[in-house]
Amino acid sequence: MAAASFLFNIANSILGKLGSHALQEFYLIWGVKNELKKLKKTLVTIRDVLLDAEDQQSKNHELTNWLKELKDVLYDADDFLDEIQTHVQQSQRLKPKVCFLFSPFKFLLFRYRMGYKVKEIRERLDNIAADKAKFHLSDRTIALEMNKRDLTYSFILPSDVVGRRNESEEVIEVLMQKGVVDDQSRLSVVSIVGIGGVGKTTLAKLVYRDERIVKNFPVRIWLCASQDFDVAKLSRNIVNLASGASCDNFNVEQVHASLQDALRGKRFLLIIDDVWSRDRSKWLELRSLLMVGECGSKVVVTTRSDYIASMMESVVTYNLKELPHEDCLSLFLKWAFRNGQERHFPNLTKIGEDIVKKCKGVPLAVKTLGSMLYATTDEREWLKVRDDEIWQLNQEDDDILPALRLSYNQLPYYLKQCFAYCSIFPKGQEIASSMLIQLWLAQGLIHSSNENQELEDVGLHYVKELCSRSLFEEVEAYDSFISIKMHDLVHDLAVLVAQTDCCVIKNNTDSITEKVRHVTLFSYSPSEESIPGILCKQKRIRTIFAPSEGFERYAALLVGQCISRFKYLRVLDLRHSSLETLPDSIGNMKHLRYIDFSGNNNIQMLPSNICKLPNLQTLRIVLCTKLQKLPRELGNLVSLRHLYLTTKEQNLPEKGLGSLALLQSLSIFGCENLVSLFEGIQKLTKLRTLVIGDCPRLTALPRGIVHLSALENFMIVNCEELMLSDWPDFEGLKRIRSLVIGGLPHLVSLPEWLKGDCNSLKFIRISTCPSFIAMPDWLENSTSLEQLEITGCPKFSSLPDSMSCLTTLRMLKIQKCPELTRRCEKDAGEDWTKIAHIQEIHLNDITIYN
């Protein structure tokens, strides 16, 4: 289904490499110019028919096989050219020593090997190209630029939900009941059951946010159940959400005790969204822990299974039906048109009615197709959706909705492989946009013809476009930081279109195809002797992703095997492993671009050879709590763009960090001994994001921080001794867009240098600053500010009069500021007139929409 569009993307990547300066130099040195010229010519002729091949492959099995053969050759060519680029770039950095690297014999041998490899790939590609004619494929060219599409977002206000009002009232009535139900049990379960995409989660959110529910349940907790209903993880999340305290380092007994302490004697509402596990013993284990709450506590479960609702002994099971046609049409028009614009396009509205009927009352399908057609007024495009043959496919009960498959088919070519790569994540996982973009970057999935545009910005556009098409759901967003999830059905779609490229290995996985490139180890507990046997024959693995617990004791074995077997590995994610050391041979992984060893509590030193990785872009070693110091040669990581670190050092090495010329984001977290940052921080001229957190001995920031001319995002939290000095002689951070400050007991007001350019600042969050008393005077000049959050600042008692001038401010959140909350009460508070123009206001647990 997706092979051709993937190959179009890979072919473009290869053509880009063939035209690079590094490859031009390689042509001259190694005498392979003619071979590579022939390869490029053949590749162009193949690329130009790939989009036509995508349309025809579903009808032609032989064409599908041709595309599979082509994919193998293109992946091999991509790996080979990546190796050449790396070699040339290393040679350029070593000049004038490069001429001494090879003896005459080694020079000739290397030239022979390279020439042979180029010829072999070119001949394989020629053989495939020779078969192209029998498929009668047409050339099809497209613009290689990103679509400049108006972006909408998958988050909508509860007041914007179409339909489900009667259903939400019925569920709320059940939850508010007292008497008979509560006499039977201290804890009652209400289940919402329905098919995938019908709106179970949306209904639960409407109920969860209702003011009556907020007032009736002092404690409200929202959980998304894992596929295996992991009681330990669910318990930890309950503690974190109910008490605000972290118990990540607690053992099981401590977690259970903390959970009961957090809930004891309190009336709570617990939502458990998307339950799949039929293991009753796990539910009973969790239920026994929850029985300490006040009588009248409730659990709401959403599930596709009537059996699960019965297993959890639901006092009420609400079977959610399909959304009525009128509501579906309203929902579709809301997502397909700007406000009220549908009345200008009666023909499109009529076609939309036919499209909606095909969605069979499933809101997810309706919303996805509406998003896909948003701002498209070409009647032919609407007819193409209505009349697509995909609606004629036979559907199984649990098959992926045709609407979702159609939405994927309509994606721009550059988004298809990015979307499919997301199948490596477990279902239900929240994904930080920054991490996702870095993974895409490591796989070479992000491209731009504009040399002045950062690839991370292009990646962010990709994320926002997938959100606008409702294939991603925003969980939280502020400025460039977006946390997203994928609906289960959308995740199933990603797995389907990824085909053989990606696979998940579990304990019961007994075989995988040799074509696989990206592997996720999920809930996997290997034997001590080896990595999964089914991986042993693989040589082309590009991703090892192990995001869950279960194999920690075998991480060292896994790393060793990965390094010895997977020459082309680009992503190695072994977070929360128990590695004690890394082998020196990791320095040989020339293709490696992304390493994540976060949360490792055993490793004390990193080998110096890790600094020999020429292509490493992202290094995550945050919360490696025993790491004694950073490698002195860190500055040799010439491609490093993103660094997340924890260390026991008192001072960060200026020579190493200050030499990272391409560094865009730096996160310094959990450094319990850190006293000061390095004074030469201004050398990081490309730094756009700086995060400093949980550094209890840090007392001051270096003055050089105000000279970070590219800095856009600044976060500093939980640094109890830190004093934010005011340097009046400095103009401040000119490009600052988001500012997050929290856990600074000495902070009274924001210093002048944080204001930046008045037109750049979009987001401010201030939390847990007990001495903070007022917003600065320069706030009134922040004419682009969109979101302001103030939490846990009890001395902050009133808002400035200038708040009414902030016309772009669309969201204000105030929590745990008693006097300020009172003054901001709707209509009655003294400060209400200052904020009445703001679209969304949160005062503790009360939400006001204007």
**Residues 87-138: pLDDT tens digits?**
777 776 665 444 444 556 565 666 677 778 888 999 999 999 998 888 888 8
Q: In terms of pLDDT, which residue wins out, 343 or 115?
A: 343
> H or E stretch including 17?
helix 3-18
Pair 437, 456: CB distance under 8 Å: yes
Q: Which residue has the tokens 């009667």?
A: 166
**How much is the pLDDT for 311?**
92
Among 841, 839, 821, 843, which Cα is nearest to 830's?
A: 821
Q: Determine the Cα–Cα distance for residues 339 and 530; give it in Å rounded to an integer.
A: 59
Pair 736, 763: CB distance under 8 Å: no
Find the range with the poorest average confidence among 461-475, 729-743, 788-802, 816-830: 729-743
**Residues 451-486: pLDDT tens digits?**
889 999 999 999 999 988 888 988 888 778 899 999
**How much is the pLDDT for 339?**
81
Q: Is the pLDDT of residue 290 over 80?
A: yes
Find the range with the poorest average confidence among 211-220, 240-249, 624-633: 240-249
**How much is the pLDDT for 698?**
95
Chain centre to alpha carbon of residue 197: 21
How sure is the predictor about 686, in pLDDT bands with cuts at 50, 70 and 90? very high
Q: pTM for this structure?
A: 0.85
Sequence length of the chain is 850
Q: Determine the Cα–Cα distance for residues 463 and 458; give it in Å rounded to an integer.
A: 9
Find the range with the poorest average confidence among 156-165, 416-425, 593-602: 156-165
Q: Determine the Cα–Cα distance for residues 447 and 9; give it in Å rounded to an integer.
A: 9
Q: Determine the Cα–Cα distance for residues 579 and 559; give it in Å rounded to an integer.
A: 9
**Residues 487-504: pLDDT tens digits?**
888 998 999 899 889 988
Q: Is the pLDDT of residue 528 over 70?
A: no
The mean pLDDT of 323-351, rounded to a whole number, is: 91
Query: Per residue, what are the HEC states of 322-360?
Result: CCCHHHHHHHHHHHHCCCCHHHHCHHHHHHHHHHHHHCC
**How much is the pLDDT for 546?**
84
How sure is the predictor about 182, in pLDDT bands with cuts at 50, 70 and 90? very low
**How much is the pLDDT for 616?**
97
Q: Is the pLDDT of residue 809 over 90?
A: yes
How sure is the predictor about 181, in pLDDT bands with cuts at 50, 70 and 90? very low
The listed range with the strongest mean pLDDT (195-199, 721-725, 739-743) is 739-743
Q: Is the pLDDT of residue 399 over 80?
A: no
Q: Is the pLDDT of residue 385 over 70?
A: yes
Nearest-Å Rg of the Cα atoms of the chain is 28
Find the range with the poorest average confidence among 103-107, 144-148, 456-460, 824-828: 144-148
The mean pLDDT of 578-593, rounded to a whole number, is: 90
**How much is the pLDDT for 678?**
86
Q: Is the pLDDT of residue 1 over 50?
A: no
Q: Is the pLDDT of residue 149 over 50?
A: no
Pair 235, 259: CB distance under 8 Å: yes
Find the range with the poorest average confidence among 1-10, 40-49, 418-427, 625-634: 1-10
Q: In terms of pLDDT, which residue wins out, 238 or 108?
A: 238
**Residues 43-87: pLDDT tens digits?**
999 988 888 887 788 778 888 889 989 999 999 999 988 988 887
**How much is the pLDDT for 582?**
87
Q: Is the pLDDT of residue 773 over 90?
A: yes
Q: How large is the greatest C-alpha to C-alpha distance in the chain, in angstroms?
A: 92
Chain centre to alpha carbon of residue 828: 41
- Residue 596 pairs with which residues in a beta bridge? 573, 620
Q: Determine the Cα–Cα distance for residues 189 and 297; give it in Å rounded to an integer.
A: 9
What would the two tokens of residue 158 be?
A: 């509860």
**Residues 755-771: pLDDT tens digits?**
766 678 899 999 999 99
